[in-house]
């Protein structure tokens, strides 16, 4: 049996979806799992040994081609057709659309299979079928309000795939010992970034409180310059995702607002502290981990829409998050509170 999973969301979503693969293989024990992912995420394929074959949706390239005057106007159409031909040559038995976006729904109609699950079009019209969970997800998940269920719980119910409980933290903070603390200060979305001066302040504070801890900063090659400019005296590792994962496996605590690294931290089963700024919605897409540590400032504009820039005159959610609130978590790991947390710190119950 051949199953195609369409997963065209962002990198963090893809990393989260890995939690469903064990259940998928349990339901279809002899199945070959194929994934259609965005081309720019090829570097994460090492993380999915369960997947027999990856296909790549080159949306960024096609967007670029559409803007080029010297490119054949039909080139994106030709490349999409080539991709669809390759997919249809596989003769899939089942397609699961884990993306739930309009473009992916059209793709489901264009790819042949005996059975198709998830959002799709039929004769060009969007079709949800009679799956009540799919309808519930469609009606509520895209809104800005909190969600009753985590993204993975929705997918589990929609596709009737068993979801394992959140993995427990294996390498937690050990008070009084040398702990390796990893910090990813930057994200790919400006409104999710906590100001770098705040990170500097918190690192200084942490060194005073927990001098034994080894703090390392990590970032992608595109973030190298800014990290080296802003954190001249710190250990900075510019890493691929594969190397970042290796480093996390050898660490105790991760502090980040970055979605993909957050999920890698959960996979590495280390204590992951999410700084949920901007459009982050931890009740929907928080790290699938137990316990889950989230610092989510309560300001009226949070969470903001994912597709828009920060609408405020200053970055209110970032300003509402203090260095002391992160530090307070470390004191809680030690079994005590040094500061009373002024902004609300949420610990969503999964």
Partner 1 sequence: MNFITQSNSQSRSVLFENGKALCSYLNPEKEALAWVARQEIQKMTDVLILGLGAGYHVEQLLRQAPHLSISVVDFRPECFRFFEEEFPYSSNKVKCFYLRDGAHLDQRIFNFVSDIQPLVLPFRPAWQNHEHQFADLYTQMTFRSLEVLEKVFHQQISSQEMDLSKLASQKELLHLKNIFESTKEVESHLSLKLSVLRELWI
Rounded CA gap, 60 and 78, in Å? 15
Where residue 287 falls (left for φ over 0; alpha for ψ -120 to 50; beta otherwise) is: beta
Question: Hey, how many other C-beta atoms are within 10 angstroms of the C-beta on 63?
Answer: 10
**Closest CB to partner 1 among residues 109, 230:** 109
d(CA 131, CA 12): 26
**What's the min distance (Å) between Cβ of 57 and partner 1?**
9
Based on CB atoms, which residue is closest to partner 1, 74 or 190?
74
Sheet holding 253-256, edge to edge: 235-238, 214-219, 180-184, 253-256, 271-275, 293-295
| Rounded (10°) angle between helices 323-334 and 196-209 | 30
Binding mask 11-50 for partner 1 (x = CB under 8 A): ----------------------------------------
Query: What whole-number distance in Å separates Cα of residue 185 and Cα of residue 235?
Result: 13
Specify the residue, 70 or 300, whose C-beta has the smaller distance to partner 1: 70
| CB nearer partner 1, residue 110 or residue 178 | 110
Binding-site size for partner 1 (CB under 8 A) equals: 28
To the nearest whole angstrom, how small is the minimum distance from the Cβ of residue 313 to partner 1?
29
**100 Rama class: left (phi>0) / alpha (psi -120 to 50) / beta:** left
d(CA 331, CA 333): 5
CB of 58 to partner 1, least distance (A): 10
**Backbone φ, ψ for residue 236 (5° rounding):** -120, 130
Shortest Å, Cβ 97 to partner 1? 13
Q: How far is the CB of 81 from partner 1 (least distance, A)?
A: 7
Q: Label residue 311 exposed, middle or buried (CB < 10 Å: 0-12, 13-18, 19+).
A: exposed
Restricted to residues 53-82, the positions that interact with partner 1 (CB under 8 A) are 59, 62-63, 66, 68-78, 80-81
Residues 81-110 that bind partner 1 (CB under 8 A): 81, 84, 101-103, 106-107, 109-110
Q: Per-residue string for binding with partner 1, 108-137, x by CB under 8 A?
A: -xx----------x-xx-------------
Residues 162-191 that bind partner 1 (CB under 8 A): none
Q: Is 146 in the site for partner 1 (CB under 8 A)?
A: no
List contacts with partner 1 (CB under 8 A): 59, 62-63, 66, 68-78, 80-81, 84, 101-103, 106-107, 109-110, 121, 123-124
């Amino acid at each position: 049996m051949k199953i195609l999973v369409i997963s065209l969301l962002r990198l963090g979503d893809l990393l989260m979806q890995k939690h469903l693969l064990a259940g998928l293989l349990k339901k279809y024990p002899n199945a070959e799992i194929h994934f259609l992912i965005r081309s720019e995420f090829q570097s994460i394929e090492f993380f999915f040994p369960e997947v027999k074959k990856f296909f790549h949706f080159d949306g960024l390239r096609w967007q670029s081609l559409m803007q080029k005057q010297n490119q054949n106007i039909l080139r994106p159409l030709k490349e999409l057709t080539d991709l669809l031909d390759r997919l249809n040559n596989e003769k899939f038995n089942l397609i699961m659309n884990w993306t739930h976006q309009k473009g992916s729904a059209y793709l489901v109609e264009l790819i042949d299979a005996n059975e198709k699950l998830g959002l799709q079009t039929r004769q060009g019209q969007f079709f949800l079928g009679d799956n009540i969970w799919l309808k519930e997800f469609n009606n509520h998940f895209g809104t800005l309000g909190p969600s009753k269920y985590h993204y993975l719980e929705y997918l589990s119910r929609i596709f009737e795939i068993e979801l394992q409980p959140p993995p427990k933290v294996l390498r937690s903070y050990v008070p009084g010992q040398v702990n390796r603390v990893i910090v990813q200060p930057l994200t790919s979305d400006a409104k999710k970034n906590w100001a770098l001066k705040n990170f500097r302040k918190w690192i200084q504070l942490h060194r005073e409180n927990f001098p034994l801890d080894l703090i390392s900063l990590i970032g992608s090659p595109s973030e190298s310059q800014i990290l080296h400019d802003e954190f001249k005296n710190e250990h900075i590792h510019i890493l691929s995702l594969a190397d970042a994962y290796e480093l996390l496996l050898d660490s105790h605590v991760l502090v980040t607002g970055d979605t993909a690294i957050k999920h890698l931290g959960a996979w590495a089963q280390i204590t992951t502290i999410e700084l949920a700024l901007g459009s982050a919605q931890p009740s929907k897409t928080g790290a699938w981990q137990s316990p889950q540590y989230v610092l989510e400032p309560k300001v009226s504009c949070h969470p903001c829409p994912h597709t828009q820039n920060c609408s405020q005159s200053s970055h209110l959610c970032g300003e509402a998050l203090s260095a002391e609130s992160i530090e307070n978590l470390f004191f809680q790991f030690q079994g005590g509170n040094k500061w009373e947390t002024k902004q609300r710190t949420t610990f969503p119950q999964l």
